[in-house]
Chains A and B, each alone.
Chain A
């Protein structure tokens, strides 16, 4: 007895070791069905789970799991079929026909037909919906009709080459027309789509419970598998604190986290059990915009002097630990029409000094700030604390001190989002940094067209540089009106030359979007549309 016990234990341990070795190899190759994935989001909790209402990134993140769009994008930036199998544009660009899949049913049993497209666009355009992102995207759509059960025709007030880009976004996802007829509060709590998961419960300020849609049939053309999702359920938690979010991932309490800060990314590289996904957001790059509507930045030489004085490369390297790549473009690196001009943004204090001399800011006061006609060269820089990551605020502080060398007095003003909007609405800024996520180069028209300088009654406007250049307007309108890819590329290139060459913006880096996951979470990818992670192909190797 005394002898058999140890040998039994030895045999058992051999079996255990073998079992332990074999698990990862078998699990590593073949996807396994089942299990619940816990996703911990550091973004604000959505106020409504229907991304038609409002339309921000936190909504897009979670809606990617249960709603689907007419089209999607592949990793080469090409539009690919999703709920629509094909589409065609009329020669004058004023009419688009979309052919829908005929075998798709919403999770409430309503079949997907052309009437659903009609109802969804009407829902986006209805002021009572309170849509902002989606509403802007369908502004040029004047009418939608159901030609037959599977063909929807969109009539445009003027041609819009960005239409397919717009329709690929989660903010324009197609929801069940039956569900949309419910009161808004109800639809916000349990939106109904065609996606691989279904919202079953929403505990506010805690989590959203999602369960697999077992009748799922409609993955986008670039998905890795067909049929229903592997995961049985998703628990979508809200963990606002960055340090505890990472601790929760390390301990395995959660499987995926978003909004990962540079220091955490570096720390995670030492951990074998954790992997990173870097998925820059589309649309505009993160940039500092220079307000050209008033002194001192109404003088292009002063704008250039500020840009010459900004030592962005060194600051980005030291604050982001190599996790963010410097951008020299107005557009995100995922946008295929983006133009990069590294030479325009050289750091050169001597050049900054002589530009300021030439612009009449030749004298210096006792503190070393430039003076002209008794006025100090001051720049107001309101910073929205809700939108900026900590490293970015440190970056602005470093730029403040390099600009001081040239004689600029930069006043950084940390403000909450509402006060920040207030400062912008009153034109009470010289420098500002505002992210803008949108699929496609048409974001340039939103950010730099003259019409974008006119504030809405809310005080909001998108053209923070306040560029008013008829030539630029014509280029951006022209690019939006043509669907010819080469012509668009050419027009967008010319437009970006005006924007970058006019020193209206100081590009920093892509809009950062990093995810960390446990290494036994397989098959997770970011959608090439707005870089939200999709859990459809994801499975757990455990």
Chain B
């Protein structure tokens, strides 16, 4: 495997004409990213402002505070909420272009600093969950394809159930089982690795269900395909065929799905961070939406969109590494 990877890299090393194409590809990609971010910011901005309600209430404490007229007027003036909507939008974009995300109404802190404190915990949760999900999915796919017809049946039922379970239900069930009943793990996030186990499992299990289904299908397809037959004809043993050839094919759809998986992990993080009271972007986003904290919602949504784009780009590149055909065809 390592040997063939080096060969691919050498094959993909840019020659003069490819370098031009690479530059154009990068430029197009960059333009696309800027366009997507602008569209995300615009849609979110107007969606948040067109639904009824007054963001000035968020400034004054949101639920339960009976804000006086004077206090509201003051808050509106402070945050420029008394100007025409289109003017507010223009001002927001102008500031955004300079990299300024503004200040959160509710947290009274620059959005950039809220995001930088919360990004780490969410990324840690998402990456760990992705790794655990891939491990579970791979384990299940390998076990079930090698275990014969009954194992395939059991595997696919497990995967369907796992994929269908909603995060909030799974989270509470895991808490009931491992904290309340068995007392092994803390029910809410505590510092240290122990506090991460249940949140990671809650996010990883449904994802593993999806990935497992795809990986097993790919594995079974690969095992049936002509190149496996020819490998066998060359005299490779069962496990050689499996680990060296079939698995590599199974990895392609899994990598392709990673971009999508990242999106689903971030939306799952909203639920999981709330249930387990973990610090993170998901929890910030939820409370920001609830209190109409427009700058914070926009900031988090932009960061998530950017992350999504980065991950898709990276998976594209990874696909090219694993599958040299793609690199030659599209670059």
In Å, the complex CA distance between A245 and B68 comes to 33
The one of B51, B63, B188 in contact with A387, judged by C-beta atoms closer than 8 angstroms, is B63
| In the bound complex, CA of A57 to CA of B61 (Å) | 10
Q: In this assembly, does A241 line the interface, its C-beta being within 8 Å of a C-beta of chain B?
A: yes
A237 — which chain B residues lie within 8 A by C-beta? 188, 277
Specify which of A128, A185, A188, A206 is in contact with B74 (CB 8 Å cutoff).
A128
A7 CB within 8 Å of chain B: no
Contacts of B291 in A (CB 8 A): 44, 47
B58 neighbours in A (Cβ, 8 Å): 47
Known contacts A243-B175, A416-B290, A422-B53: A456-B183 contact under CB 8 Å: no
Stretch at the interface among B88-96, B107-115, B223-231: B107-115
In angstroms, Cα B69 to Cα A456, docked, is: 5
A458 contacts B69, C-beta separation under 8 Å? yes
Minimum CB–CB distance for B95 against chain A, Å: 19
Q: In the assembled complex, which residues on chain A have CB atoms less than 8 Å from the CB atom of B302?
A: none
A496 to B72 Cα, complex, angstroms? 32
A427 nearest CB across to chain B (Å): 14
B23 to chain A, nearest CB (A): 43
Tell me which residues across on chain A come within 8 A of B67, comparing CB atoms.
Answer: 54, 130, 132, 458, 460
Query: Is A166 among interface residues, defined by CB-CB distance under 8 A?
Result: no
Stretch from B12-20, B26-34, B238-246, B279-287 contacting the other chain: B279-287
Q: Using a CB-CB cutoff of 8 Å, which residues 22-80 of chain A contact chain B?
A: 40, 44-48, 53-59
Q: Is B61 in contact with A47, judged by CB distance below 8 angstroms?
A: yes
Q: Does A250 contact B (CB under 8 A)?
A: yes
**Docked-complex contact A421 and B54, CB < 8 angstroms:** yes
Which of chain B's residues 169-202 have a Cβ closer than 8 Å to chain A? 171-172, 175-176, 179-180, 183, 186-188, 190
> Quick one: which of B74, B114, B279 contacts A130, CB cutoff 8 A?
B74
Which B residues touch A205, using CB under 8 A?
A: 118, 279, 283-284, 287
* B74 and A253 within 8 A (CB): no
**CB closest chain-A residue, reference B67:** A132
Alpha-carbon gap, A305 to B19, bound state (A): 81
Given A44-B287, A238-B277, A422-B53, check contact A56 B183 (CB 8 Å).
no
Q: Which chain B residues (49-77) contact chain A, with CB distance < 8 Å? A: 51-75
B188 touching A248, Cβ below 8 Å:
yes
Beta-carbon nearest neighbor of B278 in chain A: A206
Q: How far is the CB of A240 from chain B (nearest CB, A)?
A: 5
Known contacts A131-B71, A247-B176, A417-B63; A47 and B108 CB within 8 A of each other: yes
On whether the beta carbons of B61 and A53 are closer than 8 Å, the reply is: yes
A239 at the interface (CB under 8 A from B): yes
A130-B68 Cα distance, complex, nearest whole Å: 8
A235 and B60 alpha carbons, distance in the complex (Å): 25
- Confirm or deny: B262 has a beta carbon within 8 angstroms of a beta carbon on chain A: no
- State the Cβ distance, B226 to closest chain A Cβ, in Å: 53
Residues of B within 8 A of A243 (CB): 172, 175, 275
* Minimum CB–CB distance for A340 against chain B, Å: 26
Q: Does B274 contact A (CB under 8 A)?
A: yes
- Which residues on the B side are within 8 Å of A203 (C-beta)? 279
Contact with B along A124-140 (1 / 0, CB 8 A): 00011111110110000
Residue A182 lies at the interface, judged by CB distance under 8 Å to chain B = no
Contact for B57 among A133, A250, A418, CB less than 8 A: A418
Please state if B60 and A132 are interface contacts (CB–CB under 8 Å): yes
Are A253 and B61 in contact (CB-based, < 8 A)? no
Cross-interface CB contact of A418 among B64, B105, B180, B292, cutoff 8 Å: B292
Q: Name which of A54, A56, A131, A421 has the most chain B CB atoms within 10 A of its CB.
A: A54
Most buried by B among A53, A245, A251: A251
Q: B68–A456 contact, CB under 8 A? A: yes
The answer to whether B66 touches A133 (Cβ under 8 A) is yes
**Once bound together, how far apart are the Cα atoms of A459 and B66, in whole Å?**
11
Residue of B nearest to A54 (CB): B61
In the complex, whether B210 has a CB less than 8 A from a CB of chain A is no
Which residue of chain A is the closest to B63 with respect to CB atoms? A386
In the bound assembly, the distance between CA atoms of A127 and B117 in angstroms comes to 32
User: What distance in Å separates the Cβ of B329 from its nearest Cβ neighbour in chain A?
Assistant: 46
Chain B: which residue is nearest A47 at the CB level? B106
A458 touches B287 (CB 8 A): no
Contact with B along A370-409 (1 / 0, CB 8 A): 0000000000000000110000000000000000000000
Bound Cα distance from A421 to B74, whole angstroms:
19
Q: How far is the CA of A132 from the CA of B75 in the complex (A)?
A: 12
Residues in B91-138 with C-beta less than 8 Å from chain A? 105-109, 114, 117-118
Q: CB-CB < 8 A to B188: which residues of A?
A: 40, 237, 239, 244-245, 247-248, 253-254
Between-chain CB contacts (< 8 Å), 25 pairs: A44-B62, A55-B66, A56-B61, A59-B61, A127-B71, A128-B74, A131-B68, A132-B66, A133-B65, A205-B284, A239-B277, A241-B276, A243-B175, A244-B187, A248-B186, A248-B187, A248-B188, A417-B53, A418-B53, A418-B292, A419-B52, A422-B54, A423-B52, A437-B64, A457-B72
Closest 9 CB pairs of A and B: A418-B53, A54-B61, A422-B52, A56-B64, A456-B69, A247-B187, A56-B65, A54-B65, A239-B277
Q: Can you name 8 extra interface pairs (CB under 8 A) apart from A130-B71, A185-B109, A240-B274?
A: A44-B63, A47-B105, A53-B61, A240-B277, A247-B176, A251-B179, A418-B53, A458-B56
